[in-house]
């Protein structure tokens, strides 16, 4: 299950783990104009852990999910945005 909210400066997606135990903590993804943050509570340290990805890193991750093993570099197509 997931939710999507549009805040003033970001789109916030929350992923909720469902199904048989053990379940993972919710993941909160904040999409800003210049970066993406991913946060998840870590019960072992009793802290929220946050990582920040650039927009290019997010594009690379999105592409990587559908590619076979290997090393890649994405190129911009002229006029493709």
Position 72 in a domain: no
Position 13 in a domain: yes
Note the pLDDT of residue 81.
Answer: 58
DSSP state of 81: -
Number of compact structural domains in the chain = 1
Position 74 in a domain: no
pLDDT values of the chain reduced to their tens digit, one per residue, 81 residues:
999 999 999 999 999 999 899 999 999 999 999 999 999 999 999 999 999 999 999 999 998 988 888 898 888 777 765
Position 75 in a domain: no
Position 33 in a domain: yes
Collect all residues with Cβ–Cβ distance below 8 Å to 75 and sequence separation of at least 6.
none
Position 69 in a domain: no
**Domain hosting residue 58, numbered range:** 2-64
Position 73 in a domain: no
């Amino acid at each position: 299950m997931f939710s999507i909210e549009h805040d003033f400066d970001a789109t916030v997606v929350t992923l909720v783990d469902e199904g048989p135990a053990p379940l993972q903590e919710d993941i909160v993804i904040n999409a800003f104009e210049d970066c993406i943050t991913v946060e998840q509570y870590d019960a072992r340290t009793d802290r929220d852990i946050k990582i920040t990805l650039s927009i290019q890193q997010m594009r690379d991750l999105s592409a990587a999910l559908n590619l076979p093993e290997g090393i890649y570099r994405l190129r911009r197509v002229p006029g493709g945005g």
